A and B are shown apart, each in its own frame.
Chain A
Amino acid sequence: MQNNFPNEGMSVIVKTITRFTVWLIFLYGLYIVIHGHLSPGGGFAGGVIVALSYVHLTLAYGKNFVLDRINKFAMNSLEAIAAILIVLTGIVGLWLVGRFLANFLGIGTLYTLLSAGYIPILNIFICVKVGMGLYLVFYYLASFKPQEG
């Protein structure tokens, strides 16, 4: 996809460096989330890192470049859907085990990636929620123009 807004954002040096670093930041955030039950981190920290990769892109290329590639309505909906899914996980626990937000999956073997029951699932939902939400807050604050209203 070509850049429709080449004059916005920062200098060419920053844009080139951003092209190398932004996916590393994004993948690091995903790693933090997926290994949340094994290593330090988790849904909140990983979600913040994922949101920061978007913020990084917005700062370097300008917000119209990012808005060309992502759908703001989809981000808003994803955030709300993730919140609903967290509550639905709790209701499934209520249905299968008898307590709200109870661990309804087996806990598996310690130290393996697929272990700890529902903790990785909740981490992923929280990551989607925190990442989308923090980026949206950043977007709303960045696009606020007091002289408009």
Chain B
Amino acid sequence: MPVDIWLYFILGFMIIGSIASLEIKNILSSIITIGVVGLGLSLAFLFLGAPDLALVQFVFEILCVIILIRAFAKRSIEVRALRRDVPETIVAIIILLSIFVLSIFALADLPSFGKPIVRVAERYLANAGAETGSQNIVTSVILNYRIYDTLGEVTVLFTAILGSFTVLRKLGRKKRHAE
């Protein structure tokens, strides 16, 4: 199957998941549905050939879901008290050692320092002045080659300001106090 069909499938899945997370009344189910949307995005990154972004998205999404569950739905979850037994410790040490040994083989395949596989940075250094007319190459990267990234950062900042305004305003707090 070509990549496009998989992408459409994942995209439809994510749209259904985000609508479901808005409509579900139970907050724990809603948070888990948000996690499903994020994992779908991670899969989409993987299909588009960006494994680094997919990894970051995967880890970030799991962390996000854990934080949200702890913050919003902690009363309805029973937490088992952590007790360290001897067999559990041995299993943990064995897993850690095996990850360490495997990572030695994995790290040997990484490109050596200063010799990246992706050659795009050299192209920026060589052609940035002629192509963008900007003397500052960092600016030419963030405002010309990677301008969509900067647009996303601006959106993130805008959302942060909206969030702080919404959380800290007097209106919402007074209403909750009166109830």
Residues of A within 8 A of B (CB): 36-44, 79-80, 83, 86-87, 90, 101, 103, 106-111, 115-117, 119, 122-123, 126, 129-130, 133, 136-137, 140-141, 144, 148-149
Contact = CB atoms under 8 A, between A and B. Distances in A.
10 contacts: A37-B139, A86-B154, A101-B147, A115-B133, A116-B132, A116-B134, A119-B133, A133-B161, A141-B164, A149-B176
Contacts of B153: 44
Given A101-B147, A148-B173, A36 B135 contact: no
Contacts of B139: 36-37, 42, 116, 119, 123
B168 interface: yes
Interface string B136-168: 101110111001101101110110110011001
Contacts of B160: 133, 137
Contact of A126 (B131, B133, B154): B154
Interface residues of B, number: 33
B173 A38 contact: no
Contacts of A137: 160-161, 164
Interface of B: 129, 131-136, 138-140, 142-144, 147-148, 150-151, 153-155, 157-158, 160-161, 164-165, 168-170, 173-174, 176-177
A81 B151 CA distance: 14
Nearest to B157: A133
B134 A37 contact: yes
Contacts of A111: 135
Contacts of A149: 170, 173-174, 176-177
A129 B157 contact: yes
Contacts of B138: 40, 42
